[in-house]
Structure formats: structure tokens, C-alpha cells
Amino acid sequence: MRRRDEEKIAAQLAKAMAMICVRNTMLENIHAGRVPVTNAGNFSDVFVVDADGNQIHGKSFRVLTTTRCAI
């Protein structure tokens, strides 16, 4: 096996191991949080309330469950 192939396999293995380790900790539950509900379907009707007031959901960042599973 060539050195380049070994490095590629090692990189993929490292990513898989990191994903498994993070997904099996309380960190996953902390980041999961609450999922907003949208009637519009595109989250344009969802607001996030913070110390500065209301912000449109699109201006705040959240990785949805489907995206997180794909990662």
C-alpha cells in the first residue's frame, strides 16, 4: 500500500473515532438543545430571544439534527 493511501485511511479513521467519542458523551446532549418549531417550514417565522432582544432565526446558527447526523 502506498504512503498516500495509508495517510488517507488514517485520516478517515481519526475522523470516525472523533465522531464516535463526541457523540457518546454528554456534550452531544448539551449541544442538542431545543429544536424550534416553524409553521412556515423555512424558519422565517422563528425568533431567537437573547439579551439583546429578538433576532430572526436565520441570523443565529444552529446545526439541525439531520445535518448533525450527516456529519
pLDDT tens per residue across span 5-60: 999 999 999 999 888 876 666 766 666 667 778 888 877 787 777 777 766 666 55
> Is residue 30 within 8 Å of 41, Cβ to Cβ?
no
- Taking the model in full, what pTM does it have? 0.36
Distance between CA 53 and CA 49 in Å, rounded?
A: 5
Q: SS3 of 16, please?
A: helix
pLDDT at 28: 67
Contacts 24+ apart (CB under 8 A), 15-18: none
36: Cα separation from own chain's centroid: 15
- Name the one residue in this structure whose C-alpha cell is 437573547: 50
pLDDT at 65: 53
